[in-house]
Chain A
Amino acid sequence: SQKIEQNSEALNIQEGKTATLTCNYTNYSPAYLQWYRQDPGRGPVFLLLIRENEKEKRKERLKVTFDTTLKQSLFHITASQPADSATYLCALALPGGSYIPTFGRGTSLIVHP
């Protein structure tokens, strides 16, 4: 069956460091992969989308890589700040059909001042 794996353990880092979150998937050949941020009691907020033919995408302090051979995406936040503390979800969509994404469980990031 198709599976999306994100580290269930929280990632704790110091302010100013680079946070790296991992999304692994099996039995997928996704058309694209997305990353969302979710704060407690709020709905997810779209951050970045990377397509299957792209290796890397950047937006301000965010960088996403997509390795379809390893079936893995890495999500980086450089110069992290306490305000970056949240849960980050990855989502995959298969080609064809409606491209509705399937979400992973998310990884909690805690940035300590």
Chain B
Amino acid sequence: SAVISQKPSRDICQRGTSLTIQCQVDSQVTMMFWYRQQPGQSLTLIATANQGSEATYESGFVIDKFPISRPNLTFSTLTVSNMSPEDSSIYLCSVEVGTYEQYFGPGTRLTVT
């Protein structure tokens, strides 16, 4: 298993600003994932972050809007840039442990006004 923490747990931001979300894991992992979960919707994968390489973004998500850092095997950040109300969502990081089991952080609830 893995214990994952995220900061901040929630934030209210003004449109046009940026927010950086931190994800910390209690063990070294190869792959970290960033998801978005809008109210009543399923989890949508934003990108996969491997240490030492550029993040891989899913269709509909671009690096300029969601830059990701992965400086080591236990930490990653996701920045939501130039925010608009449509970015209001819960952002979750996760890691894969064992065979295909994903462990999630508690999420960051973002509200953009």
Q: Which residues of A contact B (CB under 8 A)?
A: 4, 32, 34, 36, 41-46, 49, 89, 93, 98-106
Contact = CB atoms under 8 A, between A and B. Distances in A.
Interface of B: 4, 31, 33, 40-43, 45, 48, 92, 94, 99-107, 109
A58 to B, nearest CB: 17
Contacts, number: 48
A93 to B, nearest CB: 7
Contact of A89 (B4, B42, B48): B42
B42 A43 contact: no
Counting from the closest, the 6 A-B pairs by CB-CB distance are: A43-B104, A103-B43, A105-B42, A103-B42, A46-B101, A44-B104
Contacts of A89: 42-43
Given A49-B99, A49-B100, A43 B33 contact: no
Contacts of B41: 105
Contacts of A4: 42
A2 to B, nearest CB: 12
14 contacts: A41-B109, A43-B4, A43-B92, A43-B106, A44-B92, A44-B102, A44-B104, A45-B104, A89-B42, A89-B43, A98-B48, A100-B33, A103-B43, A105-B40
